[in-house]
Structures are given as structure tokens and as C-alpha cells.
Structure 1
Amino acid sequence: MINALSNEAYRTEWRKVEPILNDPKHPLRRQAYLLPRTLEELRRKRSGFYEIEEGDSVFANGLADYAHSLLAGWHAQWGGGPPAALPEQAEHLSKLYRESENSGKIITTSLHPVKPLDPKEPDASVISSETGGGITIRGRQTFGSEALFADELLVFLQESGEDAPSTVVLLPASSDGLTLQSYPSLTAGVTAWFESTFVPWERVIVFRSKEGVARLLTDPSAQLLADYQWVARQLEALELVIGTAFALAEHKGLHTELHIQGDLGELIQELETLRALLHASEIGAATWDNGIILPASVPLAAAKKAGGLYYKRAIDVLQRIAGSVIADSPALSSSGERETLLQLVLKLAGSEAAFRRKQHEVYAFGDPIRQAAAFYLHYPTHRLRKRYEQFWAAASSGQTVPQEEQTFV
């Protein structure tokens, strides 16, 4: 149930996405389920739902694309049956994927934990009961506002005392006991209230297995496509912020100032670095045993780690260039080129939505320091150690250090 139908912001957003909602075979819906088998098909996955209104819709947060790509990756990897490392419930993956694909359903997910319904009972279990027919969920979870237009929610459940999710379900948004509560501004997201929401076993992908969920979220063949779309979306968002910074600097006559030129030059460097990393992941793309072509993991992981930090820096530079221009321009609702530019600056860098967006881009997958540590732990450091050993071996013998051809994995 959705309690936002009388919300003006909801109706405005509905008009933006109406063509897609009314057409189950809309190209963006079909593309969401595309499993690329050629490099051209992989590159088609770049845009996703982000292209709605050129990134100016509730789908711009990337979570719907991420959810579709995760489910598609799981199906591609384990559609023929889950390995021993996954619980028996994972056998539902292929069936759920095919049902959603055939109906063109829009799916989204949340990276926030499901919390107990009552804040006074923080240790209450979010899975209140287990029966022969399924499980019952009692809790609340924050979603992006795109959940108001989704057909299904991919929900990760982390129970009291756990440090990671152990249960995954794919839940229809129309399920009994599920209410999506919106707020006057859709930038605040929505709260999903699971009030004794029943989930049949056929919609439970993993049940009470941290190892099983970790496998779903870390197996390269299941994760790379989702990360690829995430990075491609961040590249588009970064281009908009940097382009706005350039326009504002010229508008204020600051583009001739050395310190501003330095800031803008560094933004260009970061933008092109992110673009190059994404391109490198495509150059190193390989076809896996299941016939799906996936991007190279190392440059993609570097891009995913850098994207959020680059976005934050771009916003900081835009705010520095803006200075007091927003406070000095009260008539932002009037028409004209100047006001339109200032409205965009306010939207990107000076509003509640801007703050939430920056936090989302930087912290969606946790603390950047922990992300960097994880990158180090999974990086193929044997290559660097080999180069070190070759250097000293060659130095000792007076030979030239052999050059190793660079590859991406």
C-alpha cells in the first residue's frame, strides 16, 4: 500500500515516469534484464533507469539498476542450480528472475538495514516467525523514493546480533502488511513498514545464512554487472556537476582566477580518470563460462571506490565557486538563463536533496576507508611482489628488468 497518492511531489514524479510505468515492454524495462553477451550489449547497460529525464527523477540514485543487475547476475551464475555454498532456497533464483523478466517488473533495493518496528526494542528480531509456508517480517526500512513506483523490493534482512545480512527476499510491493510511507519531499525517501508481512518460501532467496548472502554479494560474476552500472551512473552525475561548476565560474567571472582554474583542472583530471577506469574495465571485459560478458574487476573496483569521493569533491568545488551567490539571489523561481543556472546550482549543491545525494554517493556501500581496505585485501598483489622480486634479481645479475604485459582482471 502507498500513502503518497495525494502528495503533489508524487504526482509530479509520476508524470515523469508514466511512460515507463504504463508500458511493461518499455525499452528501459527490457534493458534492465539484459544479460550482455557482446561488448556492445555491455555498453548498452551504462545508462539504465538513470536516463529518465536525463537523471532528474527518483531513479537517479541507481538502486533500481543495481537491484536488477544483482538479480540478473545471480540468475546467470546459478540459474542451473545453486552450488553447495548457497542454501537450498537459492533454487528459486531462476524462477523469480524469469517471472520478473517476463512481466517487465521494476525492482529496487535498499542498502539500509531493516530495523525493528518499535525503536524501544532495538534487539527485537525482524523475522518474527517461521512456518511451513514461509516467514513473517516485522520491521521498518528506508528506501529511495523510486520504491513508490516499483513492483518488487529486494530486501536484505540482518537480525539482532548479526553484523551482516543473512536473509534475502524478493517481495511484491503490493504485499499485505507492507506500507510505503512517503514525505512531502521525495528527496527524503520513503519508509517501508513491514507489519507482519508474510513472505512465502518461493520468494525467499537465502534464509539465515550469512555465508550464502556474502556469496551473492561478492561473487564476481554476480556483482560486476551491478557495479558497472553504478560507476557509469556516477560518471554521468559527475559530468553534470563539473559542467555546472564551469558555467558558474564563467558566469561569475572567476574562470580567470588561478586558484579556480586549479580546482577546475583537478576536477577534469578526476573526471577523465573515472572515465578511463570505466573504459579499462570494458577493454578487459571477458566472457565467463555462462556466456555472459563482464567487465574487468580491478579497474572497476578502483572506479567504484573513486566515484563517490570524486563526486564529493566536485560538490565542494561547486559550493566554493558559488560563494554567497545563492543567498544574494532570492528570486530563483523567476525565469531567465541566469536564474536557471542558479536554480541548478542550488539543486546540486545547496539543498536538502543535494546533501542527501552527496552522502548517498560517498557512503552507499559503507565507510570509504573500509572500502579501501577491502580493495587492498582483494587486489592481486602478487603482481606487484613479482615486479619487486624481478627488480632485485635483475639488479643482482646486472640484467634488465623484464617488462610484463599489463592485463586487467
Structure 2
Amino acid sequence: MSSRSGRDYLESLRDGREVWLDGERVKDVTRHPAFRNTAASLAGLYDLALDPGHAPVLTGEDGRLRAYGIPRSYEDLVARRTAYKTWAEASYGFLGRTPDYMAGGAAGFAAVPGAFTTERFDGAPHALAYHRRLADSSLYGAFTITNPPSAPGDGLVVRAVAERDGGIVVSGAKTIGTGAVFADEVIVGTIEPLAEDDVEHALCFSVPIDTPGLSFVSRPSYEGRARSVFDNPLSARFDENDALLVCEEVFVPWERVLTYRDVGATAAMWWRTPAYLNFVHQSATRFWTKLEFLAGLAVLLTRMNGTDKLPQVTQTVGRLLGMVAQAKAFVLAAEASFEEVDGGRGGVAPGQEISFAQRIMAGELYPRAVQEIKLLAGGSIIQLPASAQDLLHPELGPVVRKYLRAPGTDAEERIKLLKLAWDALGSEFASRHEQYERLYQGAPHVYLTMQTWAGGAEACEELARACLDSYGLEDGR
């Protein structure tokens, strides 16, 4: 068994899936200018796994991608993180929901299949089959687990509208399907807390992207708006897309239903299994990589501008490198504080307390890092030629090359670096990433509240209480 090739992956996307953009149905995401480069970048990840130099890192002894494995030890966690890092570096951290993200979630489900078993419905064999299906065929799984704004009874949120002998019929919508248009399957569920009696929306299932009645409405494509890779080096290649998922009487076979009409199981699949902790492990590794890229960008900018020796500049770069070290430390600490899953029967998972804390750090740190680098770059990232065509023009080119060079750097190299910086820091693509990193693991009011019960509060209280109890009024004499 081995990972599929990039060519195999691209061919799998030509399945007639219903994707909409700008009022147009996209016939083929592998050829459409709004999606083709990102699809090719994702295909490159699969090819990396077949490359002899990378295969030992990205795949296990069974030939499967390492991300699909259930870690049984600290060493397994480190090996999986090394695989995560390799893929993250291929997109400089800008592709977040790559196939290894949901692979970790599927491994989490398989680690504790009992979380899917209830009196009314037993989704355990389906969860195990989902993991096996993804792992055996190196499938790209995505999810849509956020509800659109709705009022009770308005029928906007995905729900079952009928039951049949072979499965259920579902209708409704879910939002922020990141990467879904590039995936093989999509999980449709909810991670938001549901009222105890809201069994109508308490369901989760996974279906192929080309399922009849299933459609995706894409947000604006930054790749589609890119002038060229030279002008938009990140957005032209790494726009993973976010889409609205719409179900119009979609038939879902019972064997693809993971939870059904059970609020407890619909929540437990994320929180009683290590699925969510596995998500954080992948995303924290990617975040660390992304900060490395941004810090490197800052170094290149200051050296080109000749400001790298100024004390205030070196301090800012030092602060950025400190942020990189923080991001790295959270990953290593989560691994080192690993916890047994289901009494050891489900292997191990990164430590919950550190994993939850990483969400707070990342959401607060990323905007600060972007702001610091913007200040280092100054106005130079604004005054740029409209496109590479200005440099290539026989009359205009020499003018641009004369006036937009810098000491020790010719105009082409200077413009190339500044366009990369703008794409990472100031473009619409960059704004999406800043907002996305703020909310990557949920809204602050959710994850900050969760941190209070993730562990540590009682120990902190006990230490403060010990100090308080170590003296009394008699010590005031």
C-alpha cells in the first residue's frame, strides 16, 4: 500500500462536483483559473510522499501517510509532527486544511469508536470505516461544521428531512468549508454546543464531494484575481478556498452516518475522542512554520532596506524570532505532556491543557507579527509596479529597473521580494489569513472559556492558597 500520486489526486477531482463561483458553475477545478494552481500545489503534497527523500518522513512502514496513524507513544507524536512540518513547509504555512488535517481527525475517531455508540444509533463501525477509507486510499477529507445564522425552525441548518431503509435524506447548509472544493469527502456536522433537545440538528455524516444534491458556493477566489505567480506568489498558488455547503435533499447511506439525533454523541466525537487535539497538533505545527516564514521575510526586508543593523530594527526582528520560538515551544510542550487516550486503548494524544492554550497564543500572536513586519517594510510595499509586465515592457522596463532598484539589489529582485511581502501582509489574501488565524480554532469567547476547565486552574489556586495560608494577622506585629 502506498500514497496516491499527485496525478491520481487531480484525476479524482474531475468527478462532476458542483462548485459555483461568480454565478458560474465550475466544470473542472483542476483547470479553472480560480482553482487550478492550488489544486496543483495540493497534488504536489501527494508527490512528496512518493519521493524517496521524503517518503520515510511522510509515510509509515505500512505505506500509509503517517498522518492517518493512531499514535501509540511520544515518539509516534514526534514522527507525525515531523510529517506535518514537511507538508506545511511546502506551502510556507499558508495551506492550512491540507489532507493531513482531517487525517488526524479520522485517527482520533478510530481511537475511541465507542464515542459514536448510543442507544438509538451505533456509528462506531461507520467511524472506523471512515478512518480506514481515508487511510487506505490517501483520501482528502474536509469538514463543514459551522452553522449559518438561523432562527429556530427556519430550516436553514443541515437536518434530516426523511428516513429511508437505506439511509437518510438531508437538506440545509453549513458554512466555511475550507478546502472542501479540493477534497474527496466532506464531513457535515456541528462542533457548536446544541441544546439538549435539539436532536434535529444533532447529526454528522461524511459524503463524497460529487454526491447528487450537494453543492458548494465559493467565496471570491484570490487565486483567480492574481495577475501571475510573480505578482502574487502566495495567493496565486495557495488559496485553499472557503465555501458554503448546500444540501438539497441529499441522500446519505446509513453506513456514512456517524451520529444521528443524539446531542451527546455529536459533541463527543470531537471532545471524547482525540480528534480535536489532533487538529490542534497539525495546525500548531503549521502555525509555527508560518511564523518562521514571516520572520524570514522580515530578515530579508531589513537587509534589503539596509536597516538590519539599527538597534530598534534588530529588536523587532528579535521579537519576531521570539514569537517563532513560542509557537515551536507550544508544539513540543503539547507532545511532551501527552496523555493516554481511553486508558491507553486509543494510544496517546497531545496534552489538552497546552493544546488548548496554543489556540489563545496563535490568535493573539499572528496579528502582532503581521503588524511588526508591516512597520519594518514601510511604504516600499505600496509603491510597486502594477505587474511583471512593467518590467518586461521594452520602453517602460528600463525606467522601472533604473528607479526601483536599491543599493546592492536590482529592481527585479527588489520588486519580487516586495510583492511577496505585500501578498503575505497587505493583500486581500493576507487579510483573510489574519482573520482566519484569529478564529482558526474557534471564537475567543469559546476557547477562553474552555481553557478554564482544560486544567491548571485548581493547581494555580492551591499555590496561591498555600501562600495565603502561610501567614496570619500575628505576622503583622
TM-score, structure 2 as length reference: 0.72
Q: CA deviation at 1:140?
A: 3.8
**One-letter amino acid of the counterpart of residue 307, structure 1:** A
Structure 1 stretches lacking a partner, 5+ long: 399-409
User: Residues of 1 paired with 2:299 and 2:120: CA distance?
Assistant: 50
1:40 is matched with which residue? 75
Q: Percent identity?
A: 23
Q: CA deviation at 1:15?
A: 2.9
**1:274 counterpart = 2:308:** no
| Residues 206, 256 of structure 2: 8 Å contact kept | yes
1:142–1:69: structure 2 CA closer, same or farther, 3 Å change rule? Answer: same
| Residues 97, 142 of structure 2: 8 Å contact kept | no
User: Residues of 1 paired with 2:77 and 2:130: CA distance?
Assistant: 23
Q: CA deviation at 1:329?
A: 1.8
Q: CA deviation at 1:232?
A: 0.9
1:365 is matched with which residue? 441
Query: Aligned runs of 1:150-169 on 2, under 5 Å?
Result: 150-157=183-190, 166-169=202-205
| Residues 55, 237 of structure 1: 8 Å contact kept | no
Q: Render the CA deviation track for 1:45-101: whole Å, top value 9, x for unaligned.
A: 2255674483439981236433221221111112x6745599533442112222232
Query: Aligned runs of 1:196-275 on 2, under 5 Å?
Result: 196-219=249-272, 221-275=274-328
Secondary structure of the corresponding residue to residue 147 of structure 2: coil
Which structure is larger by alpha-carbon Rg, 1 or 2?
2
User: Residues of 2 paired with 1:62 and 1:69: CA distance?
Assistant: 11
1:348–1:14: structure 2 CA closer, same or farther, 3 Å change rule? Answer: same
1:127–1:220: structure 2 CA closer, same or farther, 3 Å change rule? Answer: closer
1:185 is matched with which residue? 222
| Residues 139, 193 of structure 1: 8 Å contact kept | yes
User: Residues of 1 paired with 2:178 and 2:118: CA distance?
Assistant: 37
Secondary structure of the corresponding residue to residue 8 of structure 1: coil
Q: Render the CA deviation track for 1:295-318: whole Å, top value 9, x for unaligned.
A: 222222212221122112111112
User: Residues of 1 paired with 2:145 and 2:94: CA distance?
Assistant: 15
| Residues 115, 122 of structure 1: 8 Å contact kept | no
Q: CA deviation at 1:352?
A: 1.2
Q: CA deviation at 1:286?
A: 4.0
User: Residues of 2 paired with 1:285 and 1:229: CA distance?
Assistant: 15
Q: CA deviation at 1:362?
A: 0.8
User: Residues of 2 paired with 1:324 and 1:380: CA distance?
Assistant: 45
**One-letter amino acid of the counterpart of residue 322, structure 2:** Q
Q: Render the CA deviation track for 1:165-192: whole Å, top value 9, x for unaligned.
A: 6221111112112234455535453343
**One-letter amino acid of the counterpart of residue 137, structure 1:** V
1:82–1:110: structure 2 CA closer, same or farther, 3 Å change rule? Answer: closer
| Residues 178, 193 of structure 1: 8 Å contact kept | yes
1:95 is matched with which residue? 129
The more displaced of 353-362 and 184-193 is 184-193
User: Residues of 1 paired with 2:217 and 2:156: CA distance?
Assistant: 22
| Residues 39, 282 of structure 1: 8 Å contact kept | yes
2:428 is matched with which residue? 352
The more displaced of 287-296 and 243-252 is 287-296
1:224–1:13: structure 2 CA closer, same or farther, 3 Å change rule? Answer: closer
Secondary structure of the corresponding residue to residue 248 of structure 1: helix
Q: Number of matched residues?
A: 393
Secondary structure of the corresponding residue to residue 169 of structure 1: strand
2:180 is matched with which residue? 147
User: Residues of 1 paired with 2:445 and 2:284: CA distance?
Assistant: 18
1:179–1:393: structure 2 CA closer, same or farther, 3 Å change rule? Answer: closer
1:145–1:226: structure 2 CA closer, same or farther, 3 Å change rule? Answer: closer
| Residues 155, 169 of structure 1: 8 Å contact kept | yes
Secondary structure of the corresponding residue to residue 336 of structure 1: helix
**1:295 counterpart = 2:350:** yes
| Residues 364, 438 of structure 2: 8 Å contact kept | yes
2:163 is matched with which residue? 131
| Residues 48, 229 of structure 1: 8 Å contact kept | no
1:263–1:209: structure 2 CA closer, same or farther, 3 Å change rule? Answer: farther
1:391 is matched with which residue? 467
**One-letter amino acid of the counterpart of residue 349, structure 2:** L
2:416 is matched with which residue? 340
1:33–1:141: structure 2 CA closer, same or farther, 3 Å change rule? Answer: same
Q: CA deviation at 1:32?
A: 2.6
TM-score, structure 1 as length reference: 0.82
User: Residues of 2 paired with 1:189 and 1:33: CA distance?
Assistant: 24
The more displaced of 179-188 and 92-101 is 179-188
Q: CA deviation at 1:104?
A: 2.1
**One-letter amino acid of the counterpart of residue 231, structure 1:** A
Structure 2 stretches lacking a partner, 5+ long: 1-16, 19-25, 224-238, 392-410
1:144–1:56: structure 2 CA closer, same or farther, 3 Å change rule? Answer: farther
User: Residues of 2 paired with 1:361 and 1:86: CA distance?
Assistant: 38
